[in-house]
């Protein structure tokens, strides 16, 4: 994907600069970040992003079964806050205009405003990457395929 972005240096510099800076200040946990990224990628059916984020989520302690079934309502292995993050990522990915006040209220019980913005930003940015990768047919690297759980 980086080779493709290299055709547009400003996009590479700014988008990936944002990602690097977000990683350095880490206002949300890696576990919640990877739940967001895998959920959004699976909801958008982006094989490239799923291949890259499924292994990272198993590194955060989720079982391969949980990772595989992350979109299922009763997936095992998620605690209540994990499920909340997953549900929010699904809603933002599939129908962002209908994020309810009740869902925001539940998020605010566990996350600061800054963290809610970060969850939203990373979900929406993931949707951008999903569309970018799928539109351009970016192929999954062989080494990423070998890391997929299961």
Q: Is the CATH code 3.40.1450.10 the one for domain 29-146?
A: no
- Predicted pLDDT at 144: 55
- Predicted pLDDT at 113: 96
Q: Would you place residue 131 in the very low, low, confident or very high pLDDT band (cuts 50, 70, 90)?
A: confident
Locate the domains of the chain by residue range.
29-146
47 Cβ neighbours under 8 A, 6+ residues apart? 134, 140
Instruction: List, for residues 47-79, the tens digit of each pLDDT value.
Output: 888 888 999 999 999 999 999 999 999 999 999
Q: Would you place residue 148 in the very low, low, confident or very high pLDDT band (cuts 50, 70, 90)?
A: very low
- Per the listing, tokens 């979900």 go with 123
Does the pLDDT of residue 18 top 80, yes or no?
yes
Q: Would you tell me the crossing angle of helices 47-59 and 113-136 to the nearest 10 degrees?
A: 140
């Amino acid at each position: 994907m980086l080779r493709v972005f290299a055709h547009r240096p400003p996009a590479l510099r700014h988008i990936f600069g944002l990602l690097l800076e977000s990683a350095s200040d880490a206002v949300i946990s890696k576990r919640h970040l990877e739940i967001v990224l895998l959920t959004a990628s699976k909801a958008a059916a982006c094989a490239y992003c799923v291949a890259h984020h499924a292994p990272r989520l198993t590194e955060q302690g989720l079982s391969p079964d949980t990772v595989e079934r992350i979109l299922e309502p009763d997936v095992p292995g998620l605690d209540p806050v994990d499920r909340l993050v997953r549900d929010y990522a699904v809603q933002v990915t599939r129908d962002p205009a209908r994020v309810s006040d009740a869902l925001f209220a539940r998020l605010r019980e566990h996350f600061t405003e800054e963290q809610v913005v970060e969850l939203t930003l990373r979900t929406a940015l993931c949707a951008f990457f999903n569309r970018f990768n799928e539109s351009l047919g970016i192929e999954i690297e062989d080494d990423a395929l070998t890391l997929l759980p299961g």
